[in-house]
Amino acid sequence: MKGTLVEQILQEHLVEGDLKAGDEIGIRIDQTLTQDATGTMAYLQLEAIGIDRVRTELSVSYVDHNTLQTGFENADDHRYLQSVAARYGVWFSRAGNGICHQVHLERFGAPGKTLLGSDSHTPTGGGLGMLAIGAGGLDVAVAMAGAPYYLATPRVLGVRLTGQLSPWVSAKDVILALLARLSVKGGVGRVVEYFGPGVDTLTVPERATITNMGAELGATSSIFPSDEQTRRFLSAQDREDVWRPLQAAPDAEYEEIVELDLSSLEPMIAQPHSPDRVVPVSELAGTPVDQVCIGSCTNSSYKDMMTVAATVAGKTVHPDTALMISPGSRQILLMMTASGALSDIIGAGARLLETACGPCIGMGAAPGSGAVSLRSFNRNFEGRSGTADAGIYLTSPETCAASALTGVITDPRTLGEAPHVQMPEHFSVDDSMILPPAEKPEDVEVQRGPNIRPAPRREPMQDSLELTVLLKVGDNITTDHISPAGAAYLPLRSNVPALAEHVFERVDPEFARRATESGPSVIVGGSNYGQGSSREHAAMAPLHLGVRAVLAVSFARIHLANLVNFGILPLTISETDYNALADGHQLRIEALQDGIQARKLTVSNLSIGTEFTASLEVTDRQVHILQAGGLLNYVGQAAQ
Ligand code: MIC
Ligand code: SF4
């Protein structure tokens, strides 16, 4: 085979277009995954598309985000998801079975396959040599219906690994080191492909930690070759039959190559409030720590948990520090129980949480005011933990465990000899919490609670728009800013009108009220607008409030696609024009249909009497979607 690993998999799945960097291609999607916080909307949209059974090789619905259940809403959502999965041919992983990405890696992922997931950390599957991409729920619904997934052909960034990790240094330190070098924008428009002699030294779960957090680089995906390590992992999961070897051709061409010597790495830590504010742990050593949380789809594997257990065994957590543990899956929890590792962790004073996302998405374990919380997670955006003024630090399970014992940020290398954890020959395999689709789908009644409301749909695209600038924000605005997550909001994910009341709440508590009063409106953003989560609610909820365009210096990939899908114009503007805009300005955009076609629109600023050009950085297909006023309108027109 020729080319990079990414080119090989894309070529095998290509149904439209040519592989030329930046050009739009359509690819066949083999597998999909959804989770409960984005899944209800995805399945409502699948139902609206009107097919009888999903047309992928495999589709799985996971329940892992919304498991706090402080009211009827989440349980209603789970019941809907279970019944709709049975009805449409989707496998259903029950609450308690584990975090979607961890369980998918263990039980379903396969080298060389394509996976589209309604969650931005779907690239975790790249640890197994799959091309795994995060997208909005509507895109995943369309893929479940058997249609191709469209994307701009990504450029491929090669990371050449050499050497071997030193004791107490782990996979998290690899990706934190890359974030330090490349920043949260470094992966935009790219897939990160790992190669080189260092690859062999990393197990599949370690590779998955690295590909998982490639999402924080802004990358479309990240991928490792499929080799003997992959075969061993799949065989230990009783799934050797899906293994196939895969690697880049020796003369594969990368857009750029980053060299990383694993032996040179030391424990790293990302400081509040961005995953790329990375420094060596030793620089912050001694800072008092109030809370430590170990888990999430980044670092909750068997090896992570066993390493933590071995580190804290026979010791007690510091009296001023709380330690929370959430193993990534039921498989891991069962193995920790059988081996006695769970007793070691609980004996050390840790609090055991569910095998779910939990504190990572602000579902419980919010830190105290002004607290320092060390987490083995992947995101530390302001307020995401549930506590606005807490400082969240992202680091390895090793650094987390060491710091929980001492009560201060601690370089684990100061603890002495590192524990040596072997990968098991055989994982404990029990799929009884994964329900197969119904054999007789016609007998399944889809159950909907009062919290489940249809997805909003935009009116057809007008030919001119008068818009009020409702809010001007800075660079790197996350979808957590736009539509916050956490215990108070996640139960409203199936009810967009109710969720919309909280749009931009943490930035401007009056935003929703002002939006409702103002009529059609626009948001102004800096660069990398909409980074982070794939939640299409960050497009749907503003749409419901009358937002019809976003003017930004640049956009994050998934959010841009979600804006287009819901008919909100993602208009790119220059820094100078950004600087001239202010809250309350009245803008007019005319000749919209032609402007969208030309990907250039003239915006008149009626408040200061100026005019500027905004461009649309979208593909041909997205031009048509915008002209129709969103993907559902477009599909509707195409069907007529
Ligand atoms: C996240 O980590 O932000 C989430 C919650 O998993 C999201 C999805 C969501 O908002 O439901 C993601 O990463 O896509
Ligand atoms: Fe869940 Fe956190 Fe992973 Fe998102 S990043 S899927 S909330 S564990």
Name the CATH superfamily housing domain 268-411.
Answer: Aconitase, domain 3 (3.30.499.10)
pLDDT tens for each residue of 102-122: 999 999 999 999 999 999 999
The closest residue, in CA terms, to atom 2 on ligand 2 is 360
Would the CATH topology of 5-264 be identical to that of 268-411? yes
**pLDDT level of residue 189 (50, 70, 90 thresholds):** very high
Q: Is 43 exposed, middle or buried (0-12, 13-18, 19+ CB in 10 A)?
A: buried
* pTM (predicted TM-score): 0.97
- Per-residue model confidence (pLDDT) at position 640: 54
Ligand 1 close to Cβ of residue 120 (< 6 A):
yes
The closest residue, in CA terms, to atom 12 on ligand 1 is 533
Whole-angstrom distance, CA of residue 29 vs CA of residue 55: 10
Residue with tokens 């030309």: 598
Q: Is the pLDDT of residue 639 over 90?
A: no
Ligand 1 close to Cβ of residue 116 (< 6 A):
no
Cα of 367 to ligand 1 centre, how many Å? 20
Q: Nearest ligand to the C-alpha of residue 531?
A: 1
Q: Report strand pairing: 268-270 vs 391-395.
A: antiparallel
Q: Are 392 and 380 in contact (CB under 8 A)?
A: yes
5-264 CATH pick, 2.40.370.10, 3.30.499.10, 1.10.3720.10, 3.30.70.3280: 3.30.499.10
- Whether 379 is catalytic: yes
Cα of 535 to ligand 1 centre, how many Å? 6
The closest residue, in CA terms, to atom 7 on ligand 1 is 533
Whole-angstrom distance, CA of residue 212 vs CA of residue 210: 5
Ligand 1 close to Cβ of residue 361 (< 6 A):
yes
Q: Are 98 and 329 in contact (CB under 8 A)?
A: yes
Q: Is the pLDDT of residue 17 over 90?
A: yes
Domain ranges of the chain: 5-264, 268-411, 465-639
Cα of 121 to ligand 1 centre, how many Å? 8
Q: Report strand pairing: 155-162 vs 190-195.
A: parallel
pLDDT tens for each residue of 580-617: 999 999 999 999 999 999 999 999 999 999 999 999 99
Cα of 494 to ligand 1 centre, how many Å? 14
Ligand 1 close to Cβ of residue 121 (< 6 A):
yes
Classify 520 as helix, strand or coil: coil
- Per-residue model confidence (pLDDT) at position 387: 97
Q: What is the mean pLDDT of residues 276-295?
A: 98
Helices (H) and strands (E) in the chain, counts: 22, 27
How far, in Å, are 42, 93, 311, 327, 430 from residue 33 at the CA level?
10, 10, 34, 20, 20
- Whether 65 is catalytic: yes
465-639 CATH pick, 3.20.19.10, 3.40.30.10, 3.40.630.30, 3.20.20.100: 3.20.19.10
Classify 65 as helix, strand or coil: coil
- Per-residue model confidence (pLDDT) at position 638: 66
Output the 3-class SS for 334-385.
Answer: HHHHHHCHHHHHHHCCCEECCCCCHHHHCCCCCCCCCCEEEECCCCCCCCCC
How far, in Å, are 204, 334, 431, 432, 589 from residue 339 at the CA level?
21, 9, 20, 21, 65
Question: Which residue in 93, 274, 301, 533 is the catalytic one?
Answer: 533
- Per-residue model confidence (pLDDT) at position 637: 75
Cα of 185 to ligand 1 centre, how many Å? 18
- Whether 375 is catalytic: no
Alpha helices (runs of H) in 224-301, residue ranges in sequence order: 228-236, 281-284
Q: Show Cβ contacts of residue 390 under 8 Å, excluding neighbours closer than 6 positions.
A: 366, 367, 368, 369, 370, 371, 372, 373
- Per-residue model confidence (pLDDT) at position 250: 95
Which amino acid, residue 589? I
Ligand 1 close to Cβ of residue 101 (< 6 A):
no
- Per-residue model confidence (pLDDT) at position 635: 82
Q: Which segments of 97-177 are extended strands (E)?
A: 114-117, 131-134, 149-152, 155-162
Q: Are 76 and 449 in contact (CB under 8 A)?
A: yes
Q: What is the mean pLDDT of the chain?
A: 97
- Per-residue model confidence (pLDDT) at position 455: 86
Q: What is the mean pLDDT of residues 38-54?
A: 95
